[in-house]
């Protein structure tokens, strides 16, 4: 403890100091013996307690107590007096003294100081608990901040509350200037103003990457006194935001002389460090948001281009194609009928036109899939497969195809998109098994090692070489010649996009002339059988 002792009798002062030293070895004393020396000491140093005689030249003990209450509120004040009148002692205590020790009972001094020390530590712990709670709450808010404005609003209030200061300011570095962005104070300071780094204390804290602790601003050469005279500020603490390459500073101000403790400096610096992290988070989030916005804009542009292309394909290409088809049909119906090479040419023209029309339809289907929205609901996928196969059987009643379908299967999917995928898978199975007299198409489900349920479409048809399987789902990619199995090569690309839009996976297993099996998964489908509600 550092104690200011107001005593004009050197021997009495020595006895007090020796009695205390027997129990408090780490106590230091500043002894003054007059009113002038007392006032000077009160202005120049910070004390943990004041011990006073009843009177010294120029001032009595009660006057000294009043001065202490005005200049250093909260500092314990103990009378050590030769007056043993209990009524006088009671009067001193009623006036605000912390304790009263007669000079004939100096043995009570260590106990009196110990009570002061215990009370001070208790008050410190209570304040520290409250300050840390404010800091923790501020850190939580900063972790959610998504703009510089939000950070400033959080920090300016928390900075003042943490240290119970009379004012707080938030400063950001703007090139070679300090921008006083915002404040929370009992009176206006410098909100909105800018000062050169070299001329203000916030600039000093940033340039030196170190806190500035100033009990008396008018006794510190780093302070531009003219700028502070119109304000209430008498003491301050300024800490940098970010230790390396500071980007700003946070300040605490007091209207009366205040010697900031290490705890106060540590807490405000912790807030500044959290503020630095919040700025980094905001920069990261804003960068991500900018990229997302750019990506969204790019996708919107791509969708507009795709829609324009789809319209062009649907409208502009179909018009001349209809003419080719129409005149080709008329040529096939002329009288007398065309013969020989001319008839062959007309047949090729009509066939190519039909194939072109199919390609346009498939391209439009792929385009629509890109923009299609998935609306999931429980779907009886087994019944859907049976219905599609019945439709295929109606188109070619002469074929004998055995089918084995597990009609109990249910899936969570978009019914329209799922039907589109199954129509392509099953029509492929129907087509590629067309050259077998014992054609077989199966639909079932089987569990996967990771617990997912895979839906399977299997046929015993032409199959394909697995060496080319990695390109199987590319648009217009065909595994067989047009003369063997007609088609555009778009069907499996449609299936692949439908399954991917559901968040599932599609893969194939095959061998030439030994059939093919296509498996696909749908998210959320486990190895269980459930009925449609």
- Taking only the tens place, the pLDDT of each residue in 215-266 is 999 999 999 998 899 999 999 999 999 888 899 999 999 998 888 889 999 9
Sorted by sequence, the CB contacts under 8 Å of residue 114 that are 6+ apart come out as: 23, 24
What residues are paired with 444 via a beta bridge? 456
Query: What pLDDT band is residue 529 in, cutting at 50, 70 and 90?
Result: very low
Please tell me the distance from the alpha carbon of residue 256 to that of residue 166, in angstroms, as a whole number: 9
8 A C-beta contact, residue 233 and residue 254: yes
Say if CB 178 and CB 203 are below 8 A apart: yes
Integer Cα distance of 285 and 280 in angstroms: 9
pLDDT at 484: 54
Task: Tell how strand 248-254 and strand 377-379 pair up.
Answer: unpaired
CA-to-CA distance for 267 and 206, rounded, in angstroms?
Answer: 18
- For residue 384, the model assigns a pLDDT of 93
Query: Partners of 32 in the beta sheet?
Result: 6
> Do 171 and 202 touch, CB atoms closer than 8 A?
yes
Position 4 pLDDT exceeds 90: yes
Q: How confident is the model at residue 491 (pLDDT cuts 50, 70, 90)?
A: confident
For the beta carbon of residue 7, count every other beta carbon within 10 angstroms. 22
Tokens 């502009």, residue?
316
Question: Is residue 25's pLDDT more than 80?
Answer: no
- Tell me what pLDDT residue 346 has: 87
525 — pLDDT class (breaks 50, 70, 90)? low
pLDDT of residue 352: 79
Taking residues 356-360, what's their average pLDDT?
72
Per-chain mean pLDDT for the chain: 85
Model confidence at 394, pLDDT cuts 50, 70, 90, reads confident
Rounded to an integer, the average pLDDT of 275-302 is 75
Domains and their CATH numbers in the chain: 2-122 (3.40.50.2300), 126-285 (3.30.450.40), 287-369 (1.10.287), 372-526 (3.30.565.10)
Q: Can you say whether the dihedral through the CA atoms of 206, 211, 215, 219 is positive or negative?
A: negative
Q: How many CA atoms lie within 13 A of 275 on its CB side?
A: 32
Q: What is the pLDDT of residue 11?
A: 93
Please state, as a whole number, how many other Cβ atoms lie within 10 Å of the Cβ of residue 330: 10
């Amino acid at each position: 403890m550092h104690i200011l002792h107001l005593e004009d009798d050197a021997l009495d002062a020595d006895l007090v100091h020796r009695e205390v030293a027997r129990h408090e070895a780490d106590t230091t004393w500043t002894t003054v013996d007059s009113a002038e020396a007392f006032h000077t000491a009160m202005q120049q140093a910070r004390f943990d307690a004041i011990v006073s005689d009843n009177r010294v030249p120029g001032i009595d003990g009660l006057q000294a107590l009043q001065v202490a209450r005005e200049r250093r509120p909260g500092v314990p004040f103990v009378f050590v007096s030769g007056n043993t009148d209990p009524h006088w002692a009671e009067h001193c205590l009623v006036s605000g003294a912390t304790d009263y020790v007669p000079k004939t009972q100096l043995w009570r001094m260590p106990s009196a100081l110990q009570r002061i020390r215990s009370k001070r530590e208790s008050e410190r712990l209570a304040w520290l608990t409250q300050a840390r709670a404010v800091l923790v709450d501020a850190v939580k808010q900063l972790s959610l901040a998504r703009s510089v404005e939000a950070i400033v609003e959080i920090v300016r209030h928390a900075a003042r509350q943490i240290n119970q200061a009379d004012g707080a300011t938030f400063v950001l570095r703007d090139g070679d200037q300090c921008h006083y962005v915002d404040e929370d104070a009992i009176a206006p300071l410098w909100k909105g103003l800018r000062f050169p780094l070299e001329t203000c204390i916030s600039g000093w804290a940033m340039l030196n990457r170190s806190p500035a602790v100033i009990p008396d601003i008018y006794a510190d050469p780093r302070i531009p006194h003219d700028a502070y005279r119109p304000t209430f500020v008498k003491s301050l603490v300024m800490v940098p935001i970010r230790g390396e390459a500071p980007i700003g500073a946070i300040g605490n101000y007091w209207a009366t002389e205040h010697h900031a403790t290490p705890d106060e400096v540590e807490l405000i610096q912790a807030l500044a460090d959290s503020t630095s992290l919040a700025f980094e988070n905001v920069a990261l989030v804003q960068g991500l948001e900018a990229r997302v916005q750019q990506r969204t804009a790019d996708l919107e542009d791509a969708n507009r281009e795709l829609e324009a292309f789809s319209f062009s394909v649907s409208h502009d290409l179909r018009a001349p194609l209809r003419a080719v088809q129409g005149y080709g049909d008329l040529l096939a119906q002329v009288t007398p009928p065309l013969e020989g090479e001319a008839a062959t040419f007309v047949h090729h023209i009509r066939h190519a036109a039909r194939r072109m029309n199919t390609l346009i339809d498939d391209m439009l289907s792929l385009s629509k899939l890109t923009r299609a929205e998935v609306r999931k609901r429980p779907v009886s996928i087994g019944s859907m497969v049976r219905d599609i196969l019945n439709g295929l059987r109606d188109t070619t009643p002469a074929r004998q195809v055995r089918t084995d379908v597990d009609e109990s299967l249910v899936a969570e999917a978009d019914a329209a998109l799922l039907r589109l995928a199954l129509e392509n898978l099953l029509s492929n199975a129907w087509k590629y098994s067309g050259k077998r007299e014992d054609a077989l198409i199966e639909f079932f489900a089987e569990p996967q090692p990771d617990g997912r349920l895979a839906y399977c479409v299997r046929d015993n048809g032409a199959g394909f070489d697995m060496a080319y399987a990695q390109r199987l789902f590319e648009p217009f990619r065909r595994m067989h010649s047009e003369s063997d199995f007609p088609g555009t090569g778009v069907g499996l690309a449609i299936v692949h996009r439908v399954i991917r839009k559901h968040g599932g996976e599609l893969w194939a297993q095959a061998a030439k002339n030994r059939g093919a099996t296509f498996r696909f998964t749908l998210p959320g489908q486990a190895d269980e059988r459930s009925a449609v509600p």
